[in-house]
Every structure is written in structure tokens, then in C-alpha cells.
Amino acid sequence: IFKQYFFERVKQVVGADKSGLRFIAITDPGSHLQQVAESEGFRHVFFGLPSIGGRYSALSDFGMVPGAIMGIDTLKFLDRADEMAVSCSSCLPVKDNPGVVLGTILGVLAKNGRDKVTIITSPGIWDFGAWLEQLLAESTGKEGKGLIPVDREPLGPPDVYGDDRVFAYIRLESAPDESQDKAVEALEKAGHPVVRISVADIYDLGQECFRWEIATAVAGSIIGINAFNQPDVEASKVATRNLTAEYERTGSLPSEAPILEEDGIKLFSDEKNADSLAGMSDGDKSLLGYLRAHLNRVRPGDYFAILAYVEMSEVHEMELQEIRRAVRDSKRVATCLGFGPRFLHSTGQAYKGGPNTGVFLQITCDDARDLPVPGQKYTFGIVKAAQARGDFQVLAERNRRALRVHLGADVPAGLTRLKQVIETALS
């Protein structure tokens, strides 16, 4: 639908006969997108390798074409990756193979209960964690097993972390952060396992992509899963398609009734979760009562995940990070934050297919401004709402502990109120 939207906008500006020249496609040979690109006169079609799965394709055209457009020296990036590929050769002893060593560490620790891989990256390579998060979660989170990646969690003192953690510190040598160095040193002194990886500059991320891909496959083998499929991603897609098809037929999504409405905030849940929360609330069927009951379902060794279907802005992330910090410090559990629908193709697989140790707080809102999808009855807002509801439906079907908070249209005010109530519930 992004292609439909932007192609229509460009067509309005430059005309139908020239609009295709403003687009390129990166796709597998023989795909539907290739057919569309050729029929609509795209400037160029770049082909990936069908044998490489999406999350493993960073070093193929899928990653390198956007990188080149951004101004990255892709040959230099790939040269660094090639150096790591040689170091990870199957002809080398295991102890000298950096990918196998890292994967063995992660796999063995996970088998011994340390399955929350907490990613710490220097500010200059902050976003590498997002790629790593998808690689680990989508590759290993299945069949009730998996590594749970924890990215962008605020650093805290050693005593707020449980014994289910392993820390991966990826340090940019050309621009280190002193506060991170001190925090990681404190974690090591407290006995937490820390994997230290040094990168000289951003081009060393090429070698890290290769190292972590090998490591992920090795860790997956150790914990007993196939790291190259993603059986639970499709479930949310099917649920979403059913909801958008209903909208196309009737002009509205199926009706739903909240279990509570207070201060402009609505709570939604499935029957099983609602009954559980009602039983744990000691008769306090208020916003505070329900949230306290939900947070009380968090046990040692669990993780708490915020699934935020709101705009990914600095203001919103700041409030959500404060909620993460409050839960982490109070419960001593790992916390995750994903913006939807973005996270569905990364941590979404692990949340549904991995170990049933997650407690989920889904956050939705009304869009103050919405955009139509050319050629469709539904809007982008309807698609996002359907994705959120489909995601929650599958979580419930997998017996996950989940609660949905709907904030209305004033998201900043809603998040502030939610943070206040959660902090009170934890106190």
C-alpha cells in the first residue's frame, strides 16, 4: 500500500507517463513486484538472491542498494564483511571462528536460562540494535524456544537485572560513550555475562552483520530450532487480512466492547485474559486496578513488552522508555519496546512463537490525521488498527498474557496518564 500511495502522489506531480522513472524496485526474480515494476516503467529493478531470507539479506541488494543511496561506500562495507566471512570459514577450528564462538555462547547461556540478549550499542551505531533485534527474534523465537532480544532499554545499575540476562556490548572505538563503559564494567563486576565486541568505525558493521548471522544460526541449532523460517509471522497477516476484508465488505471493522473506560482511556482484552485480570484485581475494576493486576502477572524470568501502535516520535518514545524503566526497576525483568506495525516483522515472531514468558501491553490510539490508500476503501489508519487487533488476536490464541490500552486521539496526554497509573500500580 505504500507503493500505491507514493506512486499516485508522484503521478499527480510529474504525470502518469513519467512517474515510473522516479521508482526502483528491489525484489526476487519472478516476483509480483518485478511484474509491477516492469509494467509501470520503473527506472531499474535490482534482484536479490531467493536463497537468502529477508533478515539475512543485509549484505545483498536489499541492504546495499538503500545503503548506496544513503552515500555509504558499499564496496568498503562488503570488504569488511568478506574479512569476517573468511574468519568464519568452516575449515577453521571452532575456537578460532568468531561467529561460532558467539553463537555457542548465546546458545549455551539460553539453555541455562539466560535467554534475554540485552543489546548495548554506542550512540554512533545506535540503530544497529534494531537490525540485530529482528535477526535474533525472528530467527530463534519459535516452537516455544528462543532468544529474546532487548534493544534500547535504558541502562541501570546491576541490581535491577535478573539472572536471565546476557549483555552484548558493541562499542564504537572511534566514538565511545563513557557512561556506557562504566555501566558495562559494573555489570561485569556484579557477575553478569557480557560479550564485548569492538568496531573501529561504521564500516565494521559489515563484519558484524556476517558474524551475527552465523552466530544466530549456531545458537538456533544449540537450542533446537530452525533459524531460517518464521512460522508465526504469517498468523498476524492472516488475521489482519480478514479484518481489512471485513472493512471492504461492510465499511467498518467488527465492533468490540471495552472491559473498562476511564479518563478517556479504554481497555480491551480477550475473554480469558479479562477473566484472569478480573480475578486478580480484588474487585478494583478501575484503570489502576486492571493495570496493577496485569503487572502482577509478571514473574521472575519473564519479560514485559510494550507494543505501541502510535507514532514513533521522540516525545512518545521518551514516555514509553520511562514506563519500561519503571517496570524493569520494580520487577527486575527484561523490558521490550516495539512500535507497531514495525515490530511485527522482528520481535513479533518471538512474542507469538517463542517461550511463553512475555507479558504484553498493547497501546493503540485514534489517528488525529488519516490518509487514504489509493484504490481501496480502507485508509492507512484502518490498516494499522486491523494490524493491532489481528496481532492481539493471535497473542490471545497463543495464551499470551496481554492487555490492550486504547488512548484516543490525544496520544501525548494519554501516555502521560498511562505512565502515572503504571507508576502508581508499581509503588
Domains of the chain: 2-69 (3.40.50.10490), 75-223 (3.40.50.10490), 233-426 (3.40.50.10490)
The region, left, alpha or beta by phi > 0 then psi within -120 to 50, assigned to residue 318 is: alpha
In angstroms, how far is the first alpha carbon of the chain from the final one?
Answer: 44
323 neighbors 113 (Cβ within 8 angstroms): no
Full pLDDT tens readout for the chain, 427 residues: 999 999 999 999 999 999 999 999 999 999 999 999 999 999 999 999 999 988 999 999 999 999 999 999 999 999 999 999 999 999 999 999 999 999 999 999 999 999 999 999 999 999 999 999 999 999 999 999 999 999 999 999 999 999 999 999 999 999 999 999 999 999 999 999 999 999 999 999 999 999 999 999 999 999 999 999 888 778 888 999 999 999 999 999 999 999 999 999 999 999 999 999 999 998 999 999 999 999 999 999 999 999 999 999 999 999 999 999 999 999 999 999 999 999 998 899 999 999 999 999 999 999 989 999 999 999 999 999 999 999 999 999 999 999 999 999 999 999 999 999 999 999 9
Of 137, 154, 167, residue with least CA distance to 327:
154
The pLDDT, as a whole number, for residue 169 is 99
For CA atoms 138, 296, 397, 404, give the dihedral sign: negative
280 neighbors 293 (Cβ within 8 angstroms): yes
236 neighbors 395 (Cβ within 8 angstroms): no
Could you tell me which residues come within 8 angstroms of residue 255 by beta carbon, excluding any fewer than 6 positions away?
none
pLDDT digits (tens, 9 = 90+) for 363-382: 999 998 999 999 999 999 99
User: C-alpha distances in angstroms, 381 versus 1, 309, 366, 384?
Assistant: 12, 10, 8, 5
376 neighbors 321 (Cβ within 8 angstroms): no
Could you tell me which residues come within 8 angstroms of residue 13 by beta carbon, excluding any fewer than 6 positions away?
none
State how far the Cα of 219 lies from the Cα of 73, in Å rounded to an integer.
31
- Within 40-127, where are the H helices? 61-69, 74-87, 98-111
Chain-centroid distance of CA 421 in Å reads 25
Could you tell me which residues come within 8 angstroms of residue 394 by beta carbon, excluding any fewer than 6 positions away?
232, 235, 236, 239, 352
User: C-alpha distances in angstroms, 238 versus 1, 242, 245, 307, 419?
Assistant: 16, 6, 10, 19, 33
The pLDDT, as a whole number, for residue 324 is 98
Residue whose C-alpha cell is 484504490? 375
The pLDDT, as a whole number, for residue 53 is 81
The cell for 359 is 507479558
Element (DSSP H or E) covering residue 119 = strand 116-121
pLDDT digits (tens, 9 = 90+) for 254-287: 999 999 999 999 999 999 999 999 999 989 999 9
State how far the Cα of 208 lies from the Cα of 107, in Å rounded to an integer.
18
Could you tell me which residues come within 8 angstroms of residue 251 by beta carbon, excluding any fewer than 6 positions away?
377
Q: Report the largest interatomic distance among the alpha carbons of the chain, rounded to a whole angstrom.
A: 66
The cell for 189 is 563486576
Radius of gyration, alpha carbons of the chain: 22
Write the DSSP string, 173-238.
TTS--HHHHHHHHHHHHTT--EEEEEESSGGGHHHHHHHHHHHHHHHHHHHT--TT--TTHHHHHH
